Structure 1
Amino acid sequence: MKARALALSALSLTISIPLATAYSGDMTFYTPAYSPQGSSCDMAAAPGEPIVAISHLMMNNGANPNANPLCGTTISIYNPYNQQTVPNVKIVDTCMGCDEESIDVNVELFEALGFDQAVGRVQGMDWGGSAVGGKKEKKKKRGLEPLGVGAVVEKRVPGHPHGRRGEEA
């Protein structure tokens, strides 16, 4: 009986842990090689497939970057300027020029999130996923919640406070 109660309490503990961690940083874009040799994960992606390179500070590639456990996992990216979420964005590369919580996405995804290439850099993009590391205290201070997995696409609300998308401070 004690073993069953212990197993049930362990199960409830596992269920109460959030499955995703949210980060907030800059988002830039790049044109990937779309071949395994073009990424630090040695993974090919189809043209137009939503892919992301995350910061070298998170990837921590080690001796064999192809063996990185983050390679091939997915994140969701949320655009607070138009309230659009894109789920299932595959991690295929390392962004050497990114700050810790910044990301680099392919051009098609940058545009799908509502940005013109002329913008170049967008500040304050939220993202997260079950494979990406902790930082619960930092997330809590920012009031960030784990990102959802379903795509939510809405039109921009006129007069919304984030109307000046992509402007740098």
Structure 2
Amino acid sequence: MRFSAAAVLVVLSAATAGFAKVSMSKSGDATFYTPGVGSCGHQNTESDMIVAVDIATIHGFPGAGANPNANPMCGRKMRVTYGKKSVTVTVADTCPGCSVGSVDLTPAAFKKLAPLSKGRIHGVKWTLL
């Protein structure tokens, strides 16, 4: 059976696009941290609106492989909600100490939900956009 290069390209494009459209919602705690070079390979600062996702979730995300810089969660937007407040952040790092569903935010992002003096907030919900 012969396939044209165009047909193969269409199938591969559809498969790859499927990873990018995976939706996910979870809940857990949120903390904050001082970022640097994240596991997605980019330098981040405390004023950036980024999030580090628990290691089980990011490593188990469809399409995840050995190279964390190429993880399909990297660069995705996420809405994090605590009570009636929410913040939109970009996935840029992994949180090895976070339990499943919990996230680590930059101080700037955390302050949109609660004062830094809180340290840890419970009952946070998040959704990939």
Give TM-score scaled by structure 2 length. Answer: 0.73
The aligned residue for residue 41 of structure 1 is 40
2:119 is aligned with what amino acid?
G
In the alignment, which residue of structure 2 is the partner of 1:58?
57
Aligned AA (1:91): V
Matched, 1:27 2:30: yes
RMSD over equivalenced CA pairs, Å: 2.0
1:104 aligned residue: 104
- Give 1:1-169 correspondences, 5 Å limit: 20-33=23-36, 38-45=37-44, 47-60=46-59, 62-80=65-83, 83-87=84-88, 89-113=89-113, 115-130=114-129
Per the alignment, in what secondary structure is the counterpart of residue 29 of structure 2?
strand
Count of paired positions: 105
Structure 2 letter corresponding to 1:102: S
Calculate percent identity across the aligned residue pairs. 37
TM-superposed CA distance for 1:118, in Å, is 2.1
Shift of 1:23: 1.3
Structure 1 unaligned residues grouped into runs of 5+? 1-18, 131-169
| Offset at residue 20 of structure 1 (A) | 4.3
Structure 2, unaligned runs of 5 or more: 1-21
Q: Which amino acid aligns with 1:97?
A: G
Counterpart for residue 5 of structure 2 = none
Following TM superposition, the consecutive aligned residue runs of length 4 or more in structure 1 with deviations greater than 2 angstroms are: 19-22, 44-47
Q: 1:107 to 1:75 in 2, by over 3 A?
A: same
SS state at 1:108 partner: helix
Shift of 1:71: 0.6
Q: 3-state DSSP class of the match of 2:40?
A: coil
Letter in 1 for 2:94: T
> Which structure is higher in strand share?
2
In 2, the alpha carbon distance for the partners of 1:32 and 1:76 equals 19
Amino acid at match of 2:128: G
Whole-Å Cα distance in 1 between the matches of residues 55 and 24 of structure 2? 18
Q: Aligned equivalents of 2:66 and 2:86: distance in 1?
A: 34
CA distance in 2, matches of 1:71, 1:26: 20
Instruction: Give, in angstroms, the shift of residue 117 of structure 1.
Output: 1.9
Structure 2 contact 46–106 (Cα < 8 Å) conserved = no
